[in-house]
Chains A and B, each alone.
Chain A
């Protein structure tokens, strides 16, 4: 990570207790990778009075308590963190975990598999192969802690559905652009549904409802319906690292 990664960051006030941070560069890939890197650095050096952050694809909403700090202080801290490389970059708070997630890819679990295949010019089996050969990195946790990942390697970015699906089951593997996400609870989505894992992604009865965090590595492993049933899959845990 170098200082050049954060060229001229933009900070826009948003109401009386938040600011929006963006990296105004023409290349969307730079905008997206720079904002993820900035987010990690910002959270590792969080200024006083900052309550929380919300990640967008190309932006970071920084929420603060205006009675504990003030807008100019927050803006100053953001510019300072963006423009000046700390002498000793704080190591990330946790080392990346690895997740190998079994997924059933068929017509019932992946109703959008066929249309995605047509769109990117592959056979459905080749789309499954492309997903299985991709290495994903969790870039943020979306609604209800859904892991949002980057790293899908297909011939061209996948479009969202024109008409969102209203009731997608938990465990659904969904793709859009070069991203993938797993549906944690039943609900609507505009993403393309391509498969389903038998694992529980988010368990609210646990003190830590998820085992994954940003920066973790995910691979999807195709399994048959019978293999999935035989797994007796419960709460999703990372791959055990042998000492």
Chain B
């Protein structure tokens, strides 16, 4: 292991350390938080030989750039974006080497998706709160990068091989961010029964993400309906992805940094398999909702998980063949 310095030359609108979130902290009032697009974050880490939950960098908007003082193995995932290394265009969703002294730049395209993830092979030195590097703005834990980031890395380049990137042919499950409206799968919940016709209304109406959206939730413009009664709902726990209808005429989809309890009708909960795409939805994005049953929803999650496991096996083999298995941090 050697310590590598990454000189941060540019940051985006919001650039932070990130991971897959906290475990078992919601019972103590702290939302799990973590990468809004968990799929892209996990894939970025797998592509550089890290465990899925390793600390990485999440960037929203603008341009992220740094210069390492030793060769580093990097992968950029998330929304479609422009990646250059030393000025030359390079690919995302693939492991790439950034040579010592060269600058990698990641330019976001907010029209296509909100967030990019950048993983570096090794362990990034970041503070943790309750066992996780994920920021929690409510608790004053901001996790900005600073001017220089340190990395403990076992990466020794590709010198054991004639391989040069980008020659990897890995089965990478790329997140699709299509041009048109994004279709989000939703499982009905009992709140729908208190509002007659809301299920049909949501299935046929277009919704647009507004600028008041953030990591707490997406606030959507579009048709809503309220319960007939004014009966107060006692504040209760709410899951990630809950479709909530507040007193105003809007629909809110709760994110990973939601307030853990709320007292509004919840008509459905987005399928786990749809959450990564919701994490990429920026202002102006049009969403459509599709009701699915619970079994279908879980099956899609299982398919995603199989893709991630296949990628883990393939990267293990590829890195093993290149001779640097064992230099990477252990699973």
- Docked Cα-Cα span, A51 to B272, in Å, equals 14
Count B interface residues, CB 8 Å: 42
Task: Answer yes or no: B189 CB below 8 A from chain A CBs.
Answer: yes
Q: Quick check: is A9 within 8 A (CB to CB) of the other chain?
A: no
CB distance from A31 to the nearest CB of B (A): 9
Bound Cα distance A140, B236 (Å) = 13
Binary CB contact string for chain B from 110 to 149 against chain A (1 if under 8 A, 0 otherwise): 0000000000000000000110000010111100000000
Residues on the B chain within 8 Å of A144, using CB: 29-30, 136, 138-139
- How many residues belonging to A are interface residues under a CB distance threshold of 8 Å? 40
Assess whether A136 is interfacial by the CB under 8 Å rule. Answer: no
Stretch of A54-62, A81-89, A115-123 with 4 or more beta carbons under 8 angstroms from chain B: A54-62
Q: Tell me, in angstroms, the Cα distance from A63 to B139 when the chains sit together.
A: 23
User: Are B261 and A56 touching (Cβ within 8 A)?
Assistant: yes
A170 to chain B, nearest CB (A): 10
Q: CA separation between A15 and B239, bound complex, in Å? A: 8
Binary CB contact string for chain B from 18 to 33 against chain A (1 if under 8 A, 0 otherwise):
0000011111111010
Indicate with 1 or 0, residue by residue over B228-272, a CB within 8 angstroms of chain A CB atoms. 000000111111011000000000000000011100001011111
Residue A48, interface by CB 8 Å: no
Q: How close is B304's CB to chain A, nearest CB, in angstroms?
A: 9
A15-B130 in contact given A20-B236, A51-B23, A185-B138 (Cβ < 8 Å): no
Residue in A13, A58, A202, A213 whose beta carbon sits within 8 Å of that of B236 in the complex: A58
Interface residues of A in 106-135 (CB under 8 A from B): none
Within 8 A of B (CB), among A156-192: 184-185, 187
Q: Is the CB of A142 within 8 A of B29?
A: yes
Shortest B277–chain A CB gap in Å is 15
Tell yes or no: B10 within 8 A of A by CB.
no
The reply to whether A54 and B190 contact each other, CB–CB distance below 8 Å, is no
Question: Of B26, B138, B235, B272, which one neighbours A52 at CB under 8 angstroms?
Answer: B26
In the assembly, what is the distance between CA of A51 and CA of B142, in Å?
A: 25
**Min C-beta distance of A207 to chain B, whole Å:** 9
A53 at the binding interface (Cβ < 8 Å): yes
**Residues B259 and A56 in contact, CB atoms below 8 Å apart:** no
Q: List 29 A-B contacts (CB under 8 A).
A: A13-B189, A13-B294, A14-B189, A15-B187, A15-B241, A16-B272, A16-B297, A16-B298, A17-B272, A18-B239, A18-B269, A20-B236, A43-B27, A52-B24, A54-B260, A54-B261, A56-B237, A56-B261, A57-B235, A57-B236, A58-B234, A66-B272, A66-B298, A67-B301, A143-B29, A145-B29, A145-B30, A204-B139, A209-B130
- 13 A-B pairs besides A141-B27, A202-B139 with CB distance below 8 A are A12-B190, A18-B239, A52-B24, A52-B26, A54-B260, A59-B236, A63-B26, A66-B298, A66-B301, A141-B29, A143-B261, A187-B138, A209-B129
